[in-house]
Structure 1
C-alpha cells in the first residue's frame, strides 16, 4: 500500500469541487460540494441509526436501493432535518445535479450537515450547481475543495488516498470526511465519501464497507451524541480494469485492507479534531477472549467524559479508566486486566490484577502533556484486539456548542 495525493480524485474517472453558495453566513467558507464519476458506479452506504434522521438520509436510501450511483452532492451549514419540505428539497438537489450531468435522479446521493430545524434555502444550491460542476476537476486541489465544503465545526480538512495492486493493475482508493462534534457513531455521526476505481461487485463493496465500520467509524467518540444526518458512501467505477472482485479471495482481502486504511485515517482525524479538543486518545484492548468484548472495552474507555476531562487536565487518574472498563456491557475478569498509558514521551503501567500501581507523578504529567495519548488495556484472556479513538473534553467544547446556531 502506498499513500498518494488526490483524496476522492485519486481514483480514475472521479471529479470533485467545492464552492460557497450562500448557505453558510461566512462568505469565506465553502458550503457546497460535488463528487461524481464519468461512468456509473457500484454504490455502498451505511447510515445513521438515529430515529430522527435528515431528509438526505431518506432520499439517499431510496436512490441507492439498487446499488448504483454516479454522483454525490453535499451542502454544509444546514442539516435539512425536521423540516416539512425537507424531502422535497433533498430531491430538488438530486434533480439539479441529474439535469446538469444528464443522468437519472436515482443515480445521485444527497447529503446535508449543519443546524437542525432551519429551512434550507435550496434555491441557492440549485443556482450554484452549474458553477459547482463546471469547475469540477480530477485533481488533488478539487478533492481539497470538496473536503473543505463539507466541514462544519471542523478545523482542518480530512482526506487520504492509497494506491495498491490487484491482478497486475494499479488500483486507487481515496476518501474525504467531516466530523468534529456530535460524534458517537453506531453508524454514523459524520459524513465520509470514498471513491475507488477498483472493479468490485456491489455485493462485496457493501459487505466490505459494512464490516469495516465495525472497526473504524463505530469506534470513535467525541461527545456521545449520535447525529441525525450522516452517512458513509463508497463508489467504485471499475476504471482500474483489474479482474473483477466477485468472491472473497485474496484480492478481496487486499481491497478490504486498503478500505480499512482509508477509514482508519479518516476516523483518527475526526477524533483528533473533536470540537475544542487538544489531544487524541486511542484505546487498544488486547488479548481479549473475543472481538466484541475488545470493541466494547476500548469504546467504553474513550467514551468516558470523566476520563476525557482528566486527559485534558493531564491527570493520571487511572481510576476513571478502570471505571469505564467496569461498566462496559460484557463479561470479563477484572483481576486479569492490566492498564498501560503511553505517549511519545514514554509509557507507564498504572493498574494490574485488580489494583492500582505506584507511579511517578512527574513522569505521568510529561506523558499526558503530549498531543496523542494511548491507553492499552490488556485483558489477558485471549488473542483478540480492537482499537477505539476519542479526544479530551475541554472548556472550548462547551463554548462551541453553547452558541452553535450563531
Structure 2
C-alpha cells in the first residue's frame, strides 16, 4: 500500500481535493484495515472520514473529504466470467473500457456503455451514470451483486432481490467502499453507427418518441447557437436487432441527410478520436461510446452538468432549455439529449420512470456556469428534473427538493445511517443534500 499527503485534482481540473491524505491499498484486507482504523480515530464518537476515489471523473465534490481518500484502482484487477449465470465479477477500480475488452475477448458483452469508456465501473454505478437508449437502463441496472467494505471494516455482499440491494447500488459512496461488482453479461454483438445533421427542432419535438426510438442508442447534439436546429443525431444500431422501419420515412420528412464524413459532437473539432461511424459495423465496445478508449480526453477543457426529466415532460423540458438558449450558448460547448429506461434503484435518476437526459458540456468557466445553474434548474424544476450526482448543479436548490424527487429518499437516509452510524463515509456534499 502507498500513502501520501495531498490528493491532487479531478479529471477536469476544476477542483482540488481537500483530503489530508490519500491511500492506495493493494488488497481488500488493506482497505478493510484502513477503514476500520479511520472509524476508530479521533475523539470518542468521532471518526476520520473516508471517501473512495476512482477515475476522478466527477465534476463536484461527491468523491471528496477532508480526511482520507482511498484509490480503488490499486485493488487487484480481475474480470471473472460465470458463463452459466451470465455474470462477470469485476474489480471496482477498473474502467469500463478495460472490462469491455476483457469480456469481448471471451465472447461476452454488456448491454450498454457510457459515452466515455474511461470512467471507473464503481464510480459510474454509484452516481447512476448512463448511456442512451429507450430500452436501456443506466449502467447501475447491470449490477447483479456488489461487495463493499463497510464502516466497521467488514466486507459485505448484497445481491439483486435482497432488501437493501436497490438502495445500495446507486449509493453515492455513503454506505462503504465498493470493492467488486457482478455485472449482467450477454453474448458479444456488433453495432453500426451513423450520424445525421441539422434536424429542425420543431419536427423533433413534434414526435420525440419516434426520433429517440430510431436506433438501439440515440443521441441528439446541439450548441443552441441556432435555437431552431438540432445539429447532429447519432444513431447506434445493434446489427443483431431489427432496425427501425420508420428510420427512412422519419428522417426524410425532416429533410435531413446522413453525414458523409466522420463527425465529432463539437462543431469544428477533429473526429479522429471518435468511435467509427458511416454505418461501418464493429464490436459493441467500439461503437456504443462516443470516444475511443485509446484516446485520453482533454483534461481541463470542460465542465459538465446533466438533468434528467420524466419522459412525459421531455418535449416541454427541451423547450424550456431552448428558451434559455441566449444565456446557455455563450457558455456551452455542446448539449447532448438522450434517453434512459426506468429502473427500481432508489437514487437512480430513472427510478420508476423512463427519463430524458439534458447533458451540458460547458466551457471551463466555473464561476459563470455556477451563476447560470440556478436559472437553468429553476426552468427545469416544474418538470421534476433530477441532477446527475457527479456533475455540477446548484446544491442549495436541489437539496430542498430531494424528498420530492426521490420517493425513497428517507429510506436511503435510514439505510446510510444503519450502514454507517458514525458518519465515516459522509462528506460535505452529502450533508448539504440532507444525508
For the criterion TM > 0.5, the same-fold answer is no
TM score, norm. by length of structure 1? 0.27
Greater helix share, 1 or 2? 1
